[in-house]
Amino acid sequence: MEIRCRIVQSLSVALSPQTAPYVLDDREIKEPDPQILSLNSELIAYDETVVRFLRDREIAFVRIGLGLLINSYLVSNALSTQPMNMRGCERMQLNILVLQQNLKNIEAGVDLARASNYYGLFEEGPDAIVDKAKLNKEREADQSPIPEAENFSYDELKALIELCYSVQLADPERGVNAAAKRQMGEKIQALSEYMWQT
């Protein structure tokens, strides 16, 4: 429980615009968030303690599911990062990569591809998000399996569209704000049509 609570607490701080803003200037992102580096250090320390004092079966019990927790948290709490621009998303992708590299030393076969793919859709823009929903609907109709790392719910994709417009929605100029709301509404409407059609 402690290691999982620490993951959730660290990620909530790392996703907060107050501690880690995701609207960044055009400089290249070279370092992950300090909270992510701190979390990595703590995960290694926890794991070393677990390995020292527990048996193999108990060690496996503690380790299993850490990647799933991080994947789920980063996707389901995406809106807590808003506003986010492209450079902010690049930093998020770097955070995910750094977490995955560290977790590989702890949990066998860990893969944060779902979180990475999710923020990858942000980088492609709102049209790509709607296209993804359309493609997944077509795959379902053809009874083609959708890989878990590429399968997102309506709420997850809707949140991602909102995140795409978050910078414009935060703009104090009413014209920019109103235009963003209108465009966002159109994309969410299209998303609804693809996700809910039978």
pLDDT in tens, 111-170: 999 999 999 999 999 999 999 998 888 888 888 888 889 999 999 999 999 999 999 998
Average per-residue pLDDT for the chain: 92
Q: Choose the most confident range, by mean pLDDT, from 38-47, 132-141, 174-183.
A: 38-47
**Residue 71: how many CB atoms within 10 A of its CB?**
24
Q: What pLDDT band is residue 20 in, cutting at 50, 70 and 90?
A: confident
Q: How far apart are CA 123 and CA 99, in angstroms?
A: 20
Other C-beta atoms lying within 10 Å of the C-beta of residue 108: 11
Give the phi and the psi of residue 13 in degrees, each rounded to 5: -70, -45
Identity (one letter) of the amino acid at 52? R
**Cβ atoms of 28 and 41 closer than 8 Å:** no
- The CA distances from residue 136 to 55, 116, 141, 146, 181, in Å, are 43, 18, 9, 7, 26
Whether 168 and 180 have beta carbons less than 8 Å apart is answered as yes
